[in-house]
Chains A and B, each alone.
Chain A
Amino acid sequence: MDRIDELLDSANPVRPLNAPRLDARAALRTALEGAPAVDAVGQDFVGGRGNGVFGGRGARRPWVVAVAVAAMSALVVGAVVLTQLLAAWQPSPPAASPSPSVSSGVTGTDEWRTVRLSPTTGGAAGPQIQLELAPGFIIRSDVPNESYDSLSFRIVRDSAPQGVLAQIYYGKVMPQRDPQACIARPEDYVELDSVPVDLPFNALDPEATSPRFVYRVVTGPSLKASLGITSQPPGTSVDGCTEFHHVESLPGGTMLIVSDHFQFSGSAAGWLSTSTTSLTPAFASLEEARAFMATDEYLTYKRMLASVRIVQPE
């Protein structure tokens, strides 16, 4: 815990030692019977939930309130049990964490092939990342040190023009990030292609959609291609502080990143930083960006990235 954490933690004005204890039954009665008026719940929160539900005091229905209050005592014990049952309900259990180190690089061949990326330590019990790899491309481990507890690989073209196409990260949510990356302003983009991919995602997250491969063109001073897999719904801008493409909150509290804008910062192991190194091209116009979709280069990138799967070891 750093200094700021200590300070903020210690300044908490309501802690177990000094927190007020109120009669929950009386509080419930107050909640249902005699609360002061509130005009409305703020629009920023209500959103699409339906404002009509949140009427003022006049919207209360006394007969329903009376029923609830009268039966409250009889239900307290049952409610506690219910609460415990609800608390016990959880999404699927956490998957085994990936081991810190990975198998050696997959070397290039002349044909497309399916590769599985798995840890070399800790056995093969954990999930593996599978993808199709095009001729001339190889996989390189991108784990900065052995203590790093998530998996990371780069898809690299081993023949000219050499370069990094994308990073694949699979591990815990919210790795540390390079503070410098947070200086960036949100960037606007246009989404030109989208293909569903068969990957798990957190369907309970209201902001998540089924994972899909996307081809976007980041607009701004220049037009630059951006490829990856995302569970975010289509939009028009992306926060430059976070990675451009990711599937968040997979079962087990893990996340998957397949993106050409996401790399480790080599100077600070364990920190993640947005990347500026990529094989994906820049364009002079949106027409040129659209035309790129018809090229073999694009179709190769798309096939590789859209083929990423999380699989169990055979």
Chain B
Amino acid sequence: MLLQREADFISLHVAQHERVLHYVLRRVGDLEVARELTADVFRIAWQKSEDDPTTEVAWLFGVARNVIGNEYRGRRRRRELILKLVEGVRAAAEPAGGDVEAAVAETLGKLRPGHREILMLHFWDKLSTAEMAAALRCTENSVGVRLHRAKSAFAAAMPEQLKAGHTEKAGEHFHGQD
């Protein structure tokens, strides 16, 4: 018979593995690397479960963020991540729409890391306000404020080509819900 801890961990893995994998993949742009880093996240969760079991995806995302940070230390390595982000977005976009999506990714790459992260958590990872607050270790109100600031920063940084037009095409892509 399994210990409760093991049952809980397997349950956590079944429930959250895909979300964490996608979170990592969106940031590293390489499936194999994402698989390895996601494995690291759950290994850490397993080790941690001995003392303080958790079922919170926000906690897993927090670990994932630091695991990615460990993997991509240094300015040059972090720049690689930005480039992979752009490449990944362009590759994922439909053939006719790659430029706009890539421009969005390039704009994200120009933002401060905190702004970029909260926009990705909200629009790509689909975390709730409470989950973002837990992942970022701040209040839900702060999440709202940070998100607002990040959107303002994005609006200020985005090129003219994004500011007008392309509405229909962007609308066509709006089916990506996680």
Residues of A at under 8 Å CB distance from B? Answer: 1, 3-20, 22, 24, 27-28, 30-32, 34-36, 38-42, 44-47, 49-50, 53-55, 59-60, 64-65, 67-68, 71-72, 75-76, 78-80, 82-83, 86-87, 173-174, 177, 179, 182, 205, 207, 232, 239, 241-243, 246, 248-249
Residues of B close to A60: CB separation below 8 A: 43, 47
Cβ 8 A contact of B171, one of A6, A13, A18: A6
Q: How far is the CA of A177 from the CA of B146 in the complex (A)?
A: 12
Question: Which residues of chain A have C-beta atoms less than 8 A from B154's C-beta?
Answer: 4, 8
Chain A residue contacts of B62, Cβ below 8 A: 45
Nearest A residue to B87, CB-CB: A13
Do B66 and A246 touch (CB < 8 A)? no
Interfacial chain A residues near B22, Cβ < 8 Å? 14, 19
Given A53-B47, A78-B7, A173-B140, A35-B145 contact (CB < 8 Å): no
Set of chain A residues within 8 Å of B110, measured between Cβ atoms: none
B contact set with A: CB distance below 8 Å: 2-3, 6-11, 13-15, 17-18, 21-22, 25-26, 29, 31, 35-36, 38-44, 46-48, 50-52, 55, 62-63, 65-67, 69-70, 85, 88-89, 91-93, 97, 100-101, 104-105, 108, 119, 123-124, 129-130, 137-142, 144-145, 148-149, 151-152, 154-155, 158, 162-163, 167, 169-178
Q: Contacts A177-B148, A248-B141: A13 and B13 contacting too (C-beta < 8 A)?
A: no
Which residue of chain B has the shortest Cβ distance to A174 in the bound complex? B144
A42 pairs with B66, CB closer than 8 A: yes
* Contact among A28, A39, A205 for B13, CB-based, below 8 A: A28
A87 to B15, CA, bound (A): 10
